[in-house]
Amino acid sequence: MKQDKIRVAVFGYGNIGKAVEEAVSVTNDMTLAGIFHHQEMESLLAAQPDIVLLGVPSREVPQAAQQLLEKGLNTVDSFDIHTRIPEVHRCLNEAALAHKAVSILSAGWDPGSDSVVRALMQALMPQGITYTDFGPGRSMGHTVAAKHIEGVKDALSMTIPLGTGIHRRMVYVEIEKGCSYNDVRDAILKDDYFAHDETHVIEVDNVKALNNVAHGVHLSRNGVSGKTHNQRIEMTMSIDNPALTGQIMVAAARAAMRMAQRQQFGCYTMIELAPVDLLEGNKEEWIQRLV
Amino acid sequence: MKQDKIRVAVFGYGNIGKAVEEAVSVTNDMTLAGIFHHQEMESLLAAQPDIVLLGVPSREVPQAAQQLLEKGLNTVDSFDIHTRIPEVHRCLNEAALAHKAVSILSAGWDPGSDSVVRALMQALMPQGITYTDFGPGRSMGHTVAAKHIEGVKDALSMTIPLGTGIHRRMVYVEIEKGCSYNDVRDAILKDDYFAHDETHVIEVDNVKALNNVAHGVHLSRNGVSGKTHNQRIEMTMSIDNPALTGQIMVAAARAAMRMAQRQQFGCYTMIELAPVDLLEGNKEEWIQRLV
């Protein structure tokens, strides 16, 4: 007997929503129950999906996920405000348990698959330091902060890894007519987003011409296994940012459905998921191929 | 209330058993219930450990694990005969379910943590090729095979990665008095362990002087996330081999005890475990620190 496909709804249709749509379209075990814009919560509920993948901005995720869980719908998000994750985890866990649903929180690449790699590094070498070096790639948060500076018409903030978790900010700005580059530069350098890092502000004619969704990360740990020092491990990625995020959310949706089927209701981050649950198809075949 | 420590027994006391002993000694949540040599199964059972970590040779693991599971004892091994893992997984799963125990199979670095990385790479980029390049480091299997060749007094086979999963074998041999290097070399090159790889046989005076438990691995995948190609990820390790294996077995023992506490009995490979379960201490704190 062939199992029914997982009916996936996409809520929010920006970069991430589009990437989720693409990632669902190349699976064999999922089908789209619909794509819903922000204000279309009612139509979403009417579509009765098995699971909702949230493509709304991070700050709106906790409320949207809570609302969906309270309707008994499973959710996946790529919530990326690191400092708020423990609190959101607790809230969504309560809602998920109360309504017998599964919620996967922060299923992107960082937080997300990088978190899994950090957990694995920690398990292999419990004593030591893990460094996460981002980039080169666009920082959404810093780009938005730069765009808000007076006199900035458009901006792009690139994150450049300098090693040991230290980053350089390369900020490309288009200046509003009649405004001064020097004023803009000084305001950016004083902004809390930039004041703590080496920051370079560069005036350009056309920020759009620089746009590129590529990103990267390098995770490294030199640690101790048992009593043996100098155990070294590193991981490097160079990726299309939204494509990877969409793919991870789709993989997490599969894991969520499996958790729900086993009645393991609640909210989970990716370090709480068995990696094999992320994969399409038969567990036994993956054990044969991957272990 | 402070939780009781996990009482760990070590069964088999070679390189791995010793590394497990060291790794247990630096934990805060485990204590040694005893170290037992091969023939001391009865004393092991009398010690009533919570879990047994198997340091016996791989070919003896399935029977020993089965025997322990049938006594209701949880087990961890680092069984590394890749081709037999699915079959052993099924057998130990049956035994574990029947006796309400948990067995963690193949908890080393390959199979083991590399398997987790391969599963993660597969989830992030479902289409593509993953290469596992081992070394430089000593191959146990090839070393043993070389030692069995007539005329070989002692041998060491090093695995050298050539990329895309292709390896060179550097075989260092001490020749028995009265035997010929040429005969030994020809026999090694014809042996099934070596016939399929580029192999160099080098005569040395003292194999022991070359000994080094260092090993390494490079995992890489260039794949497709959704419909986006050229997504690149790689992982590199350079490690003390037994120290890492012992550490991973200890982390897996912790996960096993957590699965047992949740009554999730059965046999699991590392791709079936939540990474956070491998870590000492509180889950919420790890979510805050790692996610």
Judge whether residue A150 has pLDDT over 60: yes
Chain-centre distance of CA A46, in angstroms? 27
Q: Do A119 and B278 touch (CB under 8 A)?
A: yes
Pick from A122, A230, A275: CB nearest B271: A275
Interface test with A, best of B16, B221, B228 (most A CBs within 10 A): B228
Q: Do A123 and B235 touch (CB under 8 A)?
A: no
- In single-letter form, the type of residue at position A193 comes to Y
pLDDT for B140: 85
CA proximity to A254, closest of A270, A239, A243, A242: A270
Pick from A122, A124, A288: CB nearest B86: A288
**For the residues B57-61, what does the mean pLDDT come to?**
94
Give A253→chain B minimum CA distance, Å: 12
Q: Between the CA of residue B35 and those of A92, B105, B182, B194, B255, what are the distances in Å?
A: 45, 20, 44, 36, 21
Which residue on chain B is closest to A82 by alpha carbon? B291
Judge whether residue B2 has pLDDT over 60: no
CA proximity to A74, closest of A95, A100, A103: A103
pLDDT for A2: 55
Give A47→chain B minimum CA distance, Å: 24
Pick from A115, A243, A288: CB nearest B228: A243
Q: Domains of chain B (ranges plus CATH)? A: 6-111+242-290 (3.40.50.720), 127-225 (3.30.360.10)
Give B240→chain A minimum CA distance, Å: 7
Q: Which residues of A touch B124 (CB under 8 A)?
A: 109, 113, 244, 247-248, 251
Q: Residue B52 contacts by C-beta under 8 Å, 6 or more apart in sequence?
A: B8, B9, B10, B11, B44, B68, B73, B74, B75, B76
* ipTM score for this prediction: 0.96
Q: Which residues of A touch B280 (CB under 8 A)?
A: 126
Pick from A124, A238, A270: CB nearest B244: A124
Which residue on chain A is closest to B238 by alpha carbon? A232
Cα–Cα distance measured from residue B283 to residue B262, given in angstroms and rounded to the nearest whole number: 15
pTM of the model: 0.97
Under DSSP, is residue A205 helix (H, G, I), strand (E, B) or coil? coil
Under DSSP, is residue A170 helix (H, G, I), strand (E, B) or coil? strand
* Residue B267 pLDDT grade (very low, low, confident, very high; cuts 50, 70, 90): very high
pLDDT tens, residue by residue, B127-169: 999 999 999 999 988 999 999 999 999 999 999 999 999 999 9
**Distance from the first to the final alpha carbon of chain B:** 28
pLDDT tens, residue by residue, A221-255: 999 999 999 999 999 999 999 999 999 999 999 99
